[in-house]
Amino acid sequence: MPPTLDPVDVILEKRRGEAHSRERLAAFVGGYVRGEVPDYQVAAWLMAVCWRGMSERETADLTEVMAASGHQLDLSAFEHAVDKHSTGGVGDKTTLVLAPLVASLGATVAKMSGRGLGHTGGTIDKLESIPGFVATLDEERFMRQARDVGVAITGQSGDLTPADGLLYALRDATGTVASVPLIASSVMSKKLAGGARSIVLDVKIGHGAFMKTEEEARALARAMVAIGRHAGRNVRAVLSNMDEPLGAAVGHALEVREALATLRGEGPPDLRELVLVLATEVLEATGLVAGRTEVAAALDDGRALARFEAWVAAQGGDVSALDALEVAPDAEPWRARDGGVLRALDAERIGLAVARLGGGRRQKGDTIDFGVGATVHTKVGDAVSAGDTLLTLHHRGGRGLEGALAALAGAATIAEAGEAERPPLVVGLVR
């Protein structure tokens, strides 16, 4: 850390509401990564950021400083390197369909992806439910597969944005998570370090999402798109509904099965629709397509399915096992107490129920059960009768079942019969 930088000055500067220069941010964050600035001073600065906020330019500078704190992937050899990020949700298996779909249209998806924590599932965990699938690739194999197959997804390296890892852990411990500049810089630092030139963001809104209101989600989307603009990347954001689970499957093997069905033209309409919107946005951004029709054709004519199978095989997965992924053998129906119209189905409670069956982690490193989960039989706006099965829990001999049923208490809101009102899936776009 340069001897001229006093961390207290940085804290006071932000407490007064002043904007930091890029040089100050680089020195402060770099000093923290090297162990020269202690946690307690960084915690004070994080609280000042939550209180005073950051300008658009300042947030972009912070993000680029964080991205530069560790290894950065060089994807310049791929003309159309694209990436997709979701802010987290329940039943969100879109990457499993979107990656091979955009690859079948000429894009390259070479990305690092995280594991699930809490009530949301991670893409890497879902992929590991496929027998033989290797989720950790060295960089040489990763780049070779990206070139040969068009899709390579690996677990996130500890060398990628170490500043973000340190800051996120401290934010979690100090109550400073809920800050748009800090959330945006955390997400986008990993996207910038990942090397893709065109990025589509799926910003979730609702009970099962981190951002509970459209206003919050739109602010975050605008902040992340602005970071991309400052960094010279093509970034678009899609605001999507996460009040109820996406699709019908929640749980790792169940979600892979549903992704495969969607690639075969048999999946749920909401999953297909979101995939088409996200794929069209990122492919338009990188200049490969000029509308949805061409994207839908690649999903319907088998090109995306063939690319999915080639991707799974390239990472050691048993393609022949895709139709027989192991699901927990015991089933427990969760029924409607009353008849009427389903007005709400709380995605977060359903995610928590699956986690209590063993399908989620309380802490990083926890072992998860790929076979447990839930199948949702009704969507918001459907008419139901008393006793109808709203969803089925898949469990192993009752392990975690009592806690799962407790998590579901109050998850469904059923009103008197009336005209069905289905909430929009895509709430808005930020470009």
| CATH number of this structure's domain 7-53 | 1.20.970.10
Give the distance, in angstroms, between the CA of residue 38 and the centroid of all CA atoms in the same chain: 31
- In the chain, ranges of CATH 1.20.970.10 domains: 7-53
Show which residues are catalytic. 85, 164, 171, 186, 190
- Closest C-alpha to 113, from 92, 132, 131: 92
Q: Residue 359 carries which DSSP code?
A: I
Helix, strand, or coil here: 157? Answer: coil
pTM of the predicted structure, to 2 decimals? 0.94
Angle between helices 94-103 and 292-300 (to 10 degrees): 100
**What CATH number does domain 330-415 carry, 3.30.70.20, 3.90.1170.30, 3.30.420.40, 3.50.50.60?**
3.90.1170.30
- In the chain, ranges of CATH 3.90.1170.30 domains: 330-415
Fold of 81-322: Pyrimidine Nucleoside Phosphorylase; Chain A, domain 2 (3.40.1030)
* Residue whose token pair is 């509970």: 212
What does the DSSP assignment read for 365-402? T----TT-EEEE---TT-EE-TT-EEEEEEESTTTTHH
* pLDDT tens, the chain, 431 aa long: 445 789 999 999 999 999 999 999 999 999 999 999 999 999 999 999 999 999 999 999 999 999 999 999 999 999 999 999 998 889 999 999 999 999 999 999 999 887 654 555 689 999 999 999 999 999 999 999 999 999 999 987 778 899 999 999 899 899 998 899 999 999 999 999 999 999 999 999 998 788 889 999 999 999 999 999 999 999 999 999 999 999 999 999 999 999 999 999 999 999 999 999 999 999 999 999 989 999 999 999 999 999 999 999 999 999 999 999 999 999 999 999 999 999 999 999 999 999 999 998 776 667 889 999 999 999 999 999 999 999 999 999 999 999 999 999 999 999 987 766 788 999 999 99
